[in-house]
Amino acid sequence: MPRITKEDLNNLIQDPSGKNRAETAEKISREFSAESLSDSERLLAEDIFRLMVRDAEVRVRKALAKNLKQTPLVPHDVAATLARDVDDVALPILKFSEVLNDEDLVDIIGDNADSVEKQRAIASRPHVSEIVSATLVDIGHEDVMVDLISNDGAQISEHSLQKVVDEFGENERIQKPMIERNHLPITIAERLVTLVSDRMRSELIARGHIPEGIVNAVMTQSQESATIGLLGDGAEERDVELLVEHLHTNNRLTSGLILRALCMGDVAFFEAALARRAGVSLINTRILIHDSGPFGLEAIYNKADMPAHFFPGVRAAVEVARETDLDGGERDRERYSRRMIERVLTQYGDLGVEFDSDDVDYLMGRMLQLPSERNLQP
C-alpha cells in the first residue's frame, strides 16, 4: 500500500518544480483521504498540507482541494484556507467539505459578494443551514437562487422564501424548482398561485403544497382585485355603470367583489353594484346608502340580496367612507383601506368575532367564511 516515504520528501527537495510538487500533493492528499496513513504519517501530511496551501502554483493547491474535498479528517485551517482561494481551488471544498462550519460559509459569502461561482458552490452543498441560505438570499444572485431553491438539502426559512418570491416570483427559473421542493410553506404556495402558469398551478396542487379550494379562492381574489383596478381613480360614472352591467351579465357581480371594492375605497362601484343587484335607480340607492338613519343602508343591502353576515363590515366601511375623502395623495387608497379595515375589525370584535390579521385578503377570506346562519347583526 502506498505510504508517505522518505523518497517523496527527497523528491520535493531535489526537484522542487511545480509539476513535482503537484504530483506529490496529489499522492499525499489521496492517501490522506483514503485513511491509509499511520498517526505519525497523518500528522506529517497535515504539516505538508499547511505548506502547500501557500504554494504559488495553483495546480498544487488545486490537487489538494480535489482530493481533500470530502474527507472529514482534513484540518479545519487547511480547509478554510483552500475555501478562500481562487475559484479553481476553492469550489470543490466549498461544495463538499463538511469541515467548514456555518460561520466559515457566512464569512466567505460576505467576502465574496460578487463571486457568483463561490456562492453557487455553497448553495449546492449536500446540507445548507437556514442561516447560510439566508445570507445567500440577502445577496440574491439569480443563478445562486436557482441552485439554492433546487437543492432539497438546503434548509430555507419561510422569511427567506418570501424574499425570493418578492424578487423572483415571476421568474420561471425560480418558480419551477420552488414548486418542486419537498416542503413548501402554504404561505409561499399561496403567493405563487397568482404568479405561475396553469400547468405549474396544477403542480402546486398535485404536490400537496396547497389545497385546490384555496387555489380557487386566491384566483378569485386576484381576479376581483384586478377587476376593481380596471376603473382607476376618478373613473367616470358611466364607465362604472358599464363595468357593473358587464359583471352582472356574466354572473361575476359577486358579494365578495362588491365588498372588496368598498374595502378599497371604491364607493362609486359599491353604489352602482348595489343599485344593479337591487333593481333600484342609482340616485335612490345613494340616498339609502348614505341615509344618516339606521334603516336606509340595511334596506338597500337586503334588497340587493347581499349576505347578512357581511352587513356589520359593510356598515362600518360606509361609515369610514362618510368620514374620509380620498385626496389623491401618495398611497391614498392604502391609508383609506387601513382605516376601513381597523373599523371593520372593531365592529366584528364587538360582536365577538375575532380576526388575527389586518391584511385585506385575509380579512376578505375570513368574512367570506363566516357562517351565514350566524346572527352577527346587533
Phi-psi region of 232 (alpha: psi -120 to 50; beta: other; left: phi over 0): left
CB atoms within 10 A of CB 145: 25
pLDDT score of 250: 82
pTM over 0.75: no
Residue 144, Cβ density class (10 Å: 0-12 exposed, 13-18 middle, ≥19 buried): buried
pLDDT score of 326: 53
Best-predicted range by mean pLDDT among 165-179, 324-338, 360-374? 165-179
In a shared domain, residues 233 and 352: yes
CA distance 185 to 232: 34
| 312 part of a folded domain | yes
Under DSSP, the state recorded for 136 is H
Grid coordinates belonging to 62: 488545486
CB atoms within 10 A of CB 39: 7
Q: How many domains does the chain have?
A: 3
Say which residue, 155 or 36, is predicted with more confidence.
155
Between the alpha carbon of residue 88 and those of residues 59, 63, 97, 102, 121, the distances in Å are: 9, 10, 15, 22, 12
Mean pLDDT of 190-205: 81
| 220 part of a folded domain | no
pLDDT score of 183: 87
In a shared domain, residues 144 and 10: no
| 378 part of a folded domain | no
CA distance 213 to 204: 12
Under DSSP, the state recorded for 128 is B
| 221 part of a folded domain | no
In a shared domain, residues 20 and 114: no
pLDDT score of 376: 37
Q: For residue 78, what are the contacts with CB-CB under 8 A and spacing of at least 6?
A: 46, 49, 50, 53, 64, 68
The proportion of the chain whose per-residue pLDDT surpasses 90, expressed as a percent, equals 39
Say which residue, 45 or 283, is predicted with more confidence.
283
pLDDT band at 120 (very low <50, low <70, confident <90, very high): very high
pLDDT band at 6 (very low <50, low <70, confident <90, very high): low
CA distance 175 to 196: 7
| 376 part of a folded domain | no
pLDDT at 259 over 90: no
Question: Which residue reads 480547509 in cell numbers?
Answer: 79
In a shared domain, residues 258 and 348: yes
pLDDT band at 373 (very low <50, low <70, confident <90, very high): very low
Best-predicted range by mean pLDDT among 152-161, 204-213, 339-348? 152-161
Considering only 5-9, 182-186, 229-233, 249-253, which range has the smallest mean pLDDT?
Answer: 5-9
User: What backbone phi and psi angles, to 5 degrees, belong to 91?
Assistant: -55, -45
Say which residue, 197 or 278, is predicted with more confidence.
278
The proportion of the chain whose per-residue pLDDT surpasses 70, expressed as a percent, equals 78
In a shared domain, residues 327 and 354: yes
Question: Which residue reads 474527507 in cell numbers?
Answer: 71
In a shared domain, residues 86 and 10: yes
In a shared domain, residues 49 and 72: yes
In a shared domain, residues 141 and 33: no
- Residue 154 pairs in a beta bridge with 128
pLDDT score of 371: 42
* Domain boundary pick from 79, 99, 119: 99
pLDDT score of 363: 55
Best-predicted range by mean pLDDT among 152-161, 175-184, 252-261? 152-161
In a shared domain, residues 80 and 112: no
pLDDT at 45 over 60: yes
pLDDT score of 171: 93
In a shared domain, residues 151 and 249: no
In a shared domain, residues 357 and 267: yes
pLDDT score of 218: 67
| 222 part of a folded domain | no
User: What backbone phi and psi angles, to 5 degrees, belong to 326?
Assistant: -75, 125
List, for residues 69-110, the tens digit of each pLDDT value. Answer: 999 999 999 999 999 999 999 999 999 999 999 999 999 999
pLDDT at 68 over 70: yes
DSSP assignment string, 21-78: HHHHHHHHHHHHHTT-S-HHHHHHHHHHHHHHTT-S-HHHHHHHHHHHTT-TTS-HHH
Q: Domain limits at 340?
A: 227-369
In a shared domain, residues 191 and 324: no
pLDDT at 372 over 50: no
CA distance 2 to 251: 82
CA distance 34 to 3: 11
Mean pLDDT of 323-343: 64
Between the alpha carbon of residue 231 and those of residues 228, 235, 240, 261, 340, the distances in Å are: 6, 6, 7, 11, 20
Mean pLDDT of 205-230: 72
pLDDT at 177 over 80: yes
| 318 part of a folded domain | yes
* Domain boundary pick from 185, 210, 235: 210
| 13 part of a folded domain | yes
